[in-house]
Amino acid sequence: MRWSQLLIPTLKENPADAEIVSHQLLLRAGLIRKLTGGLYTFLPLGLRALRKVERIIREEMDRAGAQEVLMPALQPSDIWQKSGRYELMQDVLFKVKDRSRKEWVLGPTHEEVITTLVAGEISSYRQLPKNFYQVQTKFRDEIRPRFGLMRAKEFIMKDAYSFDATDEGAQESYRKMYAAYGRIFKRCGIQAIAVEADTGVIGGKFSHEFMVPAETGENEVAYSEGGEYAANVEKATSRLTTPTPTVDTGSAPGKFPTPGIVTIEALASAPYNVAATAQLKTLIYLIEGKITLVMMRGDHQLNETKLAAATGTANFRAATSDEIFAALGARPGSLGAVGVTQHPVIADESLRNAAGMTTGANEDGFHFRDVNLDRDIKVGLWHDLRLVKAGEPCPVTGTPLKIRRAIEVGHVFKLGTKYSEPLEALYLDETGQRKPLVMGCYGIGVTRTMQAVIEQSHDKDGIIWPVSVAPFTVCITPLSVLADGPVMKLAEELYQKLNDQGIDTIIDDRDDRPGVKFKDSELVGFPLRVGIGEKSLAKGEIELKPRGGVMQPIKVESAIESILSALKTLSGI
């Protein structure tokens, strides 16, 4: 391709509404343009890079035995109601009505659609296992679209769905997809780490996220230095640094006055001197509309994602002060669960066997001491609810955990029968019994992956594309564009030879200053630039400049060989 014929509207300055480097460079390099918040048009160079990411994904999905399909983006809302996700995901669903007033959903994902398809097409264990995937546009009504393609209302995703007869078979399908994801991200030139993750609204038995470390990432990952443990902080656990008191004084809870004391810190100070580790913190939530007491140790913070996992719902919120007073007769700061039987109580695992604790007495200005959870509080559900902090001991090695920010580019789930049961995706086993199919699902944000490459691979001058996903691999930059001159003649000759060998090559045939061409080439980030000028050509040389590397002169007669050799080095071959 010729630069003069392509739409490559590069920008000198960062757009005001682009908050992170990769978003800035997508716009400055002329890869995308914003239509409105969360909606972007891919320009020619951006689309070329996107298609290369898609090609890698398709190759690895095919290699792993998955079959490509294409499902409708417009979905009937009744299948979402059958799966139970219509209400659960209502905040992000785009809903439309046709001329007969029937409601439809613009698909944010396709578990319901693929399960409905398979329910009608697979009926015997002899047809299993199966894995289907697609690369398709998704729609999510993000409340705050931001960071360019990272959080958009419309985006491209690869989603795959496996179907097996047994749990063991599903585990093998999961393993294949997990391995395929590792190959995909490696081929795209990004360093992604797999971490344990919460299953969220997708549901299922367990999951892993593939994260690209980046300071601008929206996720946080807790990990051990040696790589023995890694998990999204929404899922992460750790060992306790300070044990919870478990010594029972033998005394019944004793009420004592604490006028004006409404914080953990105040109770830990003189004259009370109750350590935060010996305090019970009582949080009040409305879960599915029902007042619920959530018990945490005084020095711990609640992880609401873990609360959702514990309760099986995301339909909850913190209760207001008035709602709390109506339910318990006290305001925040004096709350507790001693003797409470009319409301459910959920407690963090760190409080098991806790005794000798101090908590609010459900009377403003009073607390109880000598509280024994097993004796004095009716806990209906125990669950890990604690938010992990940096420096806490790793659950595997005991070494201090570290926390860093990251971008999620892929997610794999072992679903079990969460969708196959309500949507009646059943098969006959060897004995003729009807059983639900065991499922897995596997997503990659294709547009997000493309931006993650840029976020991880750039410098002050612009993008540094890996060879595998660069919009063009080689940029030939003639410093003179006179059609009958020796510089342009050689540029055209090299351009033709490289294209004949299947090398994606662009020739910068613009009649512009060399400095402008060089800056644009660096900004867009082509892996290899071939500079041809009259002075170097007079010596029988041209200049080879790897993006981010050192310029080197090469002989004209061996130019093609030198270029191909440089590309092999850049590709790690």
Could you tell me what percent of the chain has a pLDDT over 70? Answer: 98
Transcribe 502-560 into DSSP letters: T--EEE----S-HHHHHHHHHHHT-SEEEEE-HHHHHTTEEEEEETTS--EEEEGGGHH
pLDDT of 202: 47
**Contacting residues for 413 by C-beta, under 8 A, at least 6 apart:** 199, 202, 203, 204, 206, 207, 440, 441, 442
Could you tell me what percent of the chain has a pLDDT over 90? Answer: 89
Cβ neighbours, 10 Å, residue 132: 19
Alpha-carbon distance 526 to 548, whole Å? 10
8-state DSSP, 362: S
Whether residue 303 has pLDDT greater than 70: yes
Alpha-carbon distance 373 to 337, whole Å? 9
* Both tokens assigned to 278: 């010996």
pLDDT of 217: 85
* pTM greater than 0.85: yes
pLDDT of 249: 86
Of 442, 418, 439, the closest CA to residue 171 belongs to 439
Give tens-digit pLDDT for 466-506.
Answer: 999 999 999 999 999 998 899 999 999 999 999 999 999 99
| Domains of the chain, earliest start first | 15-189+419-455 (3.30.930.10), 254-383 (3.90.960.10), 472-571 (3.40.50.800)
What does the radius of gyration of the chain's CA atoms come to, in whole angstroms? 30
Give tens-digit pLDDT for 416-442.
Answer: 999 999 999 999 999 999 999 999 999
- Between 21-28 and 446-456, two packed helices, what is the crossing angle to 10 degrees? 100
Whether residue 264 has pLDDT greater than 60: yes
Query: Which of the residue ranges 226-230, 261-265, 303-307 would you say has the lowest mean pLDDT?
Result: 226-230
SS3 573: coil
Give tens-digit pLDDT for 9-50.
Answer: 999 999 988 989 999 999 999 999 999 999 999 999 999 999
Give tens-digit pLDDT for 269-280.
Answer: 999 999 999 999
Direct distance between the N- and C-terminal alpha carbons of the chain, in angstroms, rounded to an integer: 26
**Contact between 206 and 415 (Cβ < 8 Å):** no
Residue whose entry in the numeric block shows the structure tokens 């790793």:
394
pLDDT class for 200, splitting at 50, 70, 90?
A: low
Cβ neighbours, 10 Å, residue 91: 12
